Structures are given as structure tokens and as C-alpha cells.
Amino acid sequence: MFDLIKKKWKINIIESGKFKLDGGGMMGSVPKVMWNKTNPSDDYNRINLSMRCLLLDNGKDKILIETGIGNKNTKKFEQIFCIEQSSFPLKDKLKSFGYDLEDITHVILTHLHFDHAGGATVKINDKLKPTFPNAKYIIPEKNWTAALNPNPKDRASYLVENFIPLEKFDQLVLVKDNEKILDGISGMACYGHTPGQQLIKITVENESLIFCSDLVPLKSHLQLPWIMGYDLNAMQTLEEKTKFLNEAADKKWILFFYHDPKTIAVKIKKSEKYFEVIDECLVNG
Ligand SMILES: [Zn+2]
């Protein structure tokens, strides 16, 4: 599925860990009798979610997109979200692909919610510091501002320990909406989930992979009305997702999912109702 992208980048799919969120929160107004078939819940109504980061390596730049939930969490927090991962997930996972934390040159974050940015910093001897000492951290400016002045609805998702150290250590690079980040890599801004979230578009020749982050968190969200209850503005998500998925179908973009526990990526086409998957890359084959 990634043939042209692989001509330029070595692609490493980094499953940083698993966690769970409330199924109703993830599916918004969709009734449980429908979503429980595709995303079955546990006794606490929580559904399985992955935190699937992407590491791109062209021999010079080693670019990590997203950082998982990190390892600074309390026991209580780990229990609430049923976090399953190693004690230092990014270090361990990168090691298994032959990389050290020091090797990473760029960390791109789509937004600063804790399940995406938690791994950006670590606490060592009670001191917070960036997890990747040699990396620039590329963050959407509008989302940085939102994280510092959060809306009461998603305030609990912005934990300052995950991002303030990046500025203190002078590793922060703020980018504008839709700005080019590196050659062939740019952001795609959207606002329905939280202000200034950037999807990441990676293009090689006429193939593009989009890191869909929380605009399309699960394969189930390819159905247009399936919109997270967590989103600050559901109608804006609906508009943004409709435009995005139509373009993805027309241009045969590869859609890469951060949160889907089974499906890594898909290509879609328009169907009578919404969209139909025409090619699918699954976890373990
Ligand atoms: Zn998320």
C-alpha cells in the first residue's frame, strides 16, 4: 500500500501502547447497539484504542509523528484509561526498530491532548524534560495557544507537563495552519475536535499518506455521522470530515489511523451511503 512513500522513506509503524476510552464518548450520538458490533465495549463501557505513531527515516531525517500517552501517569490515571504499555514505551519500541531516543531529529505532534503528546516529555529525578533531546518539536501554533488557554470542555486533556518543557528547552517550533513542515510533509488544519489540530500529509510523487489523528480516529468514523462526543464542535467536524473524505476518495489517499486497534490504514472510494474501504492494511498482516 505504501509503495511510492517507501521509495523515499523507511516507514516504521510504532505501536506505542493501548488504552481505553468510553465508547459513547468515542461515538457521540450513535447508539451503542450499532457501535458495539464494530467496537465492543468492556464492563465499564470502554472500547480498545491504539496509539500508533509513525517514524519516517530517509537516512538523514528521522521524523516521529505523535508520541503516545507517555509514562508520567499516576496509577489511578492508568487504571481509568486502562493503559497497557511498557514502562518507557517509546524508548523500548524505537530500540526494537534499531533507534535510540537521541536519533530522532523531528517530532511532529497533531495536537497536544495527552493521548497524543504524553510521550513528548519524561520525568527523570523529578525533573521534566523533552524525551528526544536532539529533536525539534513541531506543533501547530493555534493548538499551542488553545492548550495554554483551554476550553472547559477539553481542559482535562491538556496537561502542561506534556508540552511546557519543550519551550523551556528551546526545542519548540510552532507552525501555521497548513504550513509545509519538511519537503513533502505538510500540515492540514482542522478545528472541530480542538482548535488547530493538524493532520499530517506525506507525499511522494503521486501517492499521499494522511495521518488522520482525531479527525478520523477509528475506521468506524469513516461513516460521516459517527463523530466523537469529545469534539468541541461536532458540526465543524462533520463539515471538515465530509470535505476531507471526498478528497481522499478522489485522490486515493492512504488514510493512516492512530487509534484503530485493528486497522492501520485504508484507501476508500465513495459509496451509495458514505465511503467504502477498497484497500486495507491490518495489524499483523
Ligand atoms: Zn486522540
b/e sequence 120-158, b meaning 16+ C-beta within 10 Å = bbbeeeeebbbbbeebbbbbbebbbebbeebeeebeebb
CA dist 169 and 62 (Å) reads: 20
CA dist 224 and 282 (Å) reads: 22
Residues 19, 270 contacting (CB under 8 angstroms): no
CA dist 174 and 217 (Å) reads: 24
- Average pLDDT (76-87) is 96
| φ, ψ (nearest 5 deg) of residue 188 | -130, 105
Band (269; pLDDT cuts 50, 70, 90): very high
CATH architecture of 3-282: 4-Layer Sandwich (3.60)
What distance in angstroms lies between residue 67's CA and the mean position of ligand 1's atoms? 11
Q: What is the tens place of the pLDDT at every residue in 152-171?
A: 999 999 999 999 999 999 99
What distance in angstroms lies between residue 217's CA and the mean position of ligand 1's atoms? 7
What distance in angstroms lies between residue 218's CA and the mean position of ligand 1's atoms? 10
Cell for 23?
Answer: 465508547
Q: What is the pLDDT of residue 30?
A: 97
| φ, ψ (nearest 5 deg) of residue 92 | -65, -45
What distance in angstroms lies between residue 253's CA and the mean position of ligand 1's atoms? 21
What distance in angstroms lies between residue 82's CA and the mean position of ligand 1's atoms? 15
Share of the chain above pLDDT 70, in %: 100
What distance in angstroms lies between residue 101's CA and the mean position of ligand 1's atoms? 23
CA dist 196 and 191 (Å) reads: 5
Q: What is the pLDDT of residue 235?
A: 98
What distance in angstroms lies between residue 207's CA and the mean position of ligand 1's atoms? 25
Residues 200, 188 contacting (CB under 8 angstroms): yes
Share of the chain above pLDDT 90, in %: 97
Q: What is the pLDDT of residue 63?
A: 98
- Average pLDDT (45-63) is 98
Band (91; pLDDT cuts 50, 70, 90): very high
What distance in angstroms lies between residue 259's CA and the mean position of ligand 1's atoms? 7
Q: Can you say how many angstroms the Cα of residue 81 is from the centroid of all Cα atoms in its chain?
A: 17
Q: What is the pLDDT of residue 285?
A: 53
Q: Can you say how many angstroms the Cα of residue 177 is from the centroid of all Cα atoms in its chain?
A: 17
What distance in angstroms lies between residue 242's CA and the mean position of ligand 1's atoms? 19
What distance in angstroms lies between residue 19's CA and the mean position of ligand 1's atoms? 11
Instruction: Give the DSSP letter of residue 41.
Output: B
| Helix (H) or strand (E) run with residue 6 in it | helix 3-8
What distance in angstroms lies between residue 24's CA and the mean position of ligand 1's atoms? 15
What distance in angstroms lies between residue 221's CA and the mean position of ligand 1's atoms? 13
Q: What is the tens place of the pLDDT at every residue in 192-216?
A: 999 999 999 999 999 999 999 999 9
3-state secondary structure of 120: helix
Q: What is the pLDDT of residue 1?
A: 87
Band (129; pLDDT cuts 50, 70, 90): very high
> Would you report the helix, strand and coil content of the chain in percent, each value rounded to 5?
30, 30, 40
| φ, ψ (nearest 5 deg) of residue 132 | -110, 100
What distance in angstroms lies between residue 264's CA and the mean position of ligand 1's atoms? 15
Single out the residue of 110, 115, 59, 130 nearest to residue 83, CA to CA.
115
- Average pLDDT (8-25) is 97
Instruction: Say how many Å lie between the first and final Cα of the chain, rounded.
Output: 12
What distance in angstroms lies between residue 214's CA and the mean position of ligand 1's atoms? 5
Q: What is the tens place of the pLDDT at every residue in 101-117?
A: 999 999 999 999 999 99
Q: What is the pLDDT of residue 284?
A: 82
What distance in angstroms lies between residue 77's CA and the mean position of ligand 1's atoms? 16
What distance in angstroms lies between residue 117's CA and the mean position of ligand 1's atoms? 9
Q: What is the pLDDT of residue 6?
A: 94
What distance in angstroms lies between residue 13's CA and the mean position of ligand 1's atoms? 17
Question: pLDDT averaged over the chain?
Answer: 97
pLDDT higher than 80, residue 66: yes
Q: What is the pLDDT of residue 62?
A: 98
